[in-house]
Amino acid sequence: MDYFIIKKTFLLKSRNKLIVSGTIKNDINKPMSEFDNLLVNNIKIPIKEVNEVLIDDNSYIAFTFDLNTLDENELNNMIELKEKQELIIS
């Protein structure tokens, strides 16, 4: 099973995006292109884009989500993610 370990969540209202940054912990080093969804409170949230973000001189994976595709509960759940929280990624 593959996990995404949260570092930080950013809300970019000017671009209508939510960015969740962190690192991946997996068993077989899958390429990034094989990850399509983040599981948040038993709901699969589709990843729109995969980028990289620099936080405190460290590089992290940044998953981008379009705010137009998230309902209010999904958005609230993602905004409330805590640093070092582990989520299943598929």
Span 47-68, average pLDDT: 92
81 band by pLDDT with thresholds 50, 70 and 90? very high
C-alpha to C-alpha distance for 5 and 21, rounded to whole angstroms: 8
pLDDT at 31: 74
**Average model confidence (pLDDT) across the chain:** 91
Q: What's CA 76's distance to the chain center, in Å?
A: 14
Record the pTM: 0.88
Task: Please determine, for residue 25, whether its predicted confidence score (pLDDT) is greater than 80.
Answer: yes
Query: What string of DSSP letters covers 12-71?
Result: EGGGTEEEEEEEEE-SS---GGG--EEEETTEEEE--EEEEEEETTEEEEEEEEEGGG--
Span 1-8, average pLDDT: 92
73 band by pLDDT with thresholds 50, 70 and 90? very high
